[in-house]
């Protein structure tokens, strides 16, 4: 299993992060923000991570140069050496679809009081993120599947603030300048 948690420790801290004042209770809007803003953002982020083999998040994934036996096996079995991908679009690929398809059986999306957990319930997913021994006894370097640059976190916060501002505007209320995190 591989999971990333996004949020703040307390409702007050989270409300301050988003610029929410007493006009709005964060616990009333957070589930919608998580579903409408955070979830799509993380699905798109995951797709970009796979498309760039980790470069999008600022931590490029190590290639298979330390794993020549595994690389030869994978090339023979699936015909490519794309990192962390198996049978693209096939029934045996689990990690990529579980992190990019919200309807996949192994996709994780849980909304907490002031946080959201997003990830994959694939059994071996976490082991892919840590240095370990691969299936052929070779060292397998960890690959930070869901790495994010600080700018990604700022963009996500700004997107949440914009959504809140739109929501409040419909009710005749307002929050601070949404550009504060750009």
Tell me if 115 sits within 8 A of 6, measured CB to CB.
yes
Give the mean pLDDT of 132-149: 94
Tell me if 72 sits within 8 A of 148, measured CB to CB.
no
Residue 87, CA atoms < 13 Å, CB-side half-sphere? 7
* Number of domains comprising the chain: 1
Report the chain's mean pLDDT, rounded to a whole number.
86
Q: Determine the pLDDT at residue 172.
A: 72
Query: Which residues have a Cβ under 8 Å from the Cβ of 56 and sit 6 or more positions away?
Result: 45, 48, 49
The H or E element containing residue 144 is none
152 vs 16, residue with greater confidence: 152
| 35 band by pLDDT with thresholds 50, 70 and 90 | very high
Taking the C-alpha atoms of residue 158 and residue 74, their distance in angstroms, rounded to an integer, is 41
Domain span holding position 97: 2-181
Is residue 10 scored above 80 in pLDDT? no
Is residue 14 scored above 70 in pLDDT? no
How far is the CA of 95 from the CAs of 14, 23, 121, 139, in angstroms?
30, 41, 9, 20
90 vs 46, residue with greater confidence: 46
Taking the C-alpha atoms of residue 96 and residue 104, their distance in angstroms, rounded to an integer, is 10
Beta strands in the chain (DSSP E): 2-7, 107-111, 115-120, 132-133, 139-140
Q: What is the pLDDT of residues 36-66, one digit of tens each?
A: 999 999 999 999 999 999 999 999 999 999 9
Is residue 77 scored above 90 in pLDDT? yes
Pairing outcome for strands 132-133 and 2-7: unpaired
Taking the C-alpha atoms of residue 32 and residue 128, their distance in angstroms, rounded to an integer, is 31
Can you give the pTM of this predicted structure? 0.85
Task: Tally DSSP H helices, then E strands, for the chain.
Answer: 6, 5
Is residue 16 scored above 80 in pLDDT? no
Q: Determine the pLDDT at residue 173.
A: 66
180 vs 97, residue with greater confidence: 97
| 88 band by pLDDT with thresholds 50, 70 and 90 | confident
């Amino acid at each position: 299993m591989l999971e990333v948690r996004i949020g703040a420790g307390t409702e007050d801290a989270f409300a301050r992060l988003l610029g929410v004042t007493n006009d709005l209770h964060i616990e009333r809007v957070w589930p919608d923000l998580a579903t409408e803003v955070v979830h799509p953002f993380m699905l798109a982020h995951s797709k970009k991570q796979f498309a760039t083999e980790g470069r999008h998040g600022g931590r490029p994934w190590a290639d298979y140069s330390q794993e020549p036996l595994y690389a030869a096996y994978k090339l023979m079995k699936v015909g490519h050496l794309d990192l962390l991908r198996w049978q693209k679009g096939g029934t045996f690929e689990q990690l990529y679809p579980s992190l990019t398809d919200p309807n996949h059986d192994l996709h994780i999306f849980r909304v907490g009081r002031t946080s959201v957990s997003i990830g994959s319930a694939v059994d071996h997913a976490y082991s892919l993120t840590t240095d370990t021994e691969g299936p052929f006894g070779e060292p397998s370097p960890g690959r930070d599947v869901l790495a994010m640059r600080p700018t990604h976190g700022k963009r996500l916060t700004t997107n949440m603030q914009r959504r809140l501002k739109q929501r409040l505007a419909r009710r005749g209320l307002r929050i601070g300048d949404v550009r504060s995190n750009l």
